[in-house]
Structure 1
């Protein structure tokens, strides 16, 4: 009997070890995919930003600063009706991704995520026309430090924060509506409030999403469905990517130095 109990305990320990190793690999994949997405976003934003802003007035369409001008591409992306497509395309892609994730392969989902990350870079490229390059880099580093701390806490805490989900999602919906309204109102006070509240919401979502990714893996790891796990990692990477990008954009409202 004692021998049987020893064998059973050994098997249970082996399963636990396998799950722990699988979770580590799963989280590494999530953060890896997210990092690649961030690189694509930064590269697209920097490239488009360089093509839309110039210091040469002879090739400019409109002046936006003491010695900074919009190129023809910049005027098309930021001042023509095309700006609405550039602005809302990432949001449309997020909803489309959620609707089609169960019908496409993990390879297709990964390609879609990378395409979305590049589109997001184009959408936020306007920051290079408004803020100094140094303040953008500085804000990115501050965001990275805050994100790492919040995500680590969400991963290691024993506290169940799943109850935050519905409250935070309602907050995100409210932010989207308020942001759209403020596009037309152009209220500085309202923008400040949106940025402050948005920063708190996405800070909470960073910890919440990290714990949810971890718990989702632990709940489904024993199924051994490699395709599902691959898609789960991509969706996890998308959620954390969105948390990071939104924290960065809201922080930029406070830390960014305008040209």
Structure 2
């Protein structure tokens, strides 16, 4: 936050510097949110398309509801060993993207992010088989409103919330570990606890990451080139995208109406 205040400190040329930084910051954050939004659209379309290919009214041995049966494609990704690859592919993908993005061009990094968004859509496509379409839409809208409010607060607040980082990271690790453990335990109580804590963790991360992205730009815009800022925008979009997706999934687990 010190750099932010320095930019706005009156002096010779302060008005010019403020205008330059404000315009650059707006452009940078617009790219972050724009990239994230395109990723969300890709995820939604991929999830909907895969769910549509997975279910039909033609009877098979895999009945998932009245008049609903898994197709051979649905059996492959939901009821065969391939389901583990589908489940953990986004986690492996995001680690690879985070580690390798510095060696990519900005354009390649953006394409990789969109590919990750498609993989995430395949991974979460089962929500269309488990929850009603109306509850999915309702929870998505609630998540979007909450995300916008939290991100706006993180962007505009003068309070330094960088100290939240360690606490939120520890909470994130706990949520991830408990979620993986519960895949094998199948405990409804643990699932409820993970979802409730997860909502709080990803809500906090939304505000924290928004302020972090803003401050990083103000600190580095004058010393780093366009290539670095392009990569930073992709990584920023990835951070906020993951916060949104995870908050949505946690809220859906808590409040979604199951079919």
TM-score normalised according to structure 1 size: 0.94
Residues 94-142 of structure 1 deviation map (CA, whole Å, 9 limit, x = unaligned): 1111111211111111111000000000000000111111111111111
Offset of 1:174 from its aligned partner? 1.2
Q: Is the 8 A contact 1:61 1:71 kept in 2?
A: no
Secondary structure of the structure 2 residue equivalent to 1:101: helix
Q: From the CA coordinates, give the structure whose radius of gyration is larger.
A: 1
Following TM superposition, the consecutive aligned residue runs of length 4 or more in structure 1 with deviations greater than 3 angstroms are none
Offset of 1:157 from its aligned partner? 0.5
What is the distance in 2 between the residues matched to 1:254 and 1:174?
Answer: 18
Q: Is the 8 A contact 1:61 1:72 kept in 2?
A: no
Report the counterpart of residue 121 of structure 1 in structure 2: 121
Q: Which runs of 5+ in 2 are unaligned?
A: 1-9
Report the counterpart of residue 145 of structure 2 in structure 1: 145
TM-score normalised according to structure 2 size: 0.94
What is the aligned-residue RMSD (CA, Å)? 1.2
Is 1:19 equivalent to 2:21 in the alignment? yes
Q: Which runs of 5+ in 1 are unaligned?
A: 1-7
Secondary structure of the structure 2 residue equivalent to 1:223: coil
Report the counterpart of residue 53 of structure 1 in structure 2: 55
Q: Is the 8 A contact 1:143 1:244 kept in 2?
A: yes
Secondary structure of the structure 2 residue equivalent to 1:142: helix
Offset of 1:223 from its aligned partner? 1.7
Higher mean displacement: 207-216 or 10-19 = 10-19
Offset of 1:57 from its aligned partner? 3.1
Offset of 1:10 from its aligned partner? 5.0
Q: Is the 8 A contact 1:61 1:75 kept in 2?
A: no
Secondary structure of the structure 2 residue equivalent to 1:57: coil
Report the counterpart of residue 4 of structure 1 in structure 2: none
Report the counterpart of residue 63 of structure 2 in structure 1: 63
Offset of 1:12 from its aligned partner? 2.1
Report the counterpart of residue 214 of structure 2 in structure 1: 214
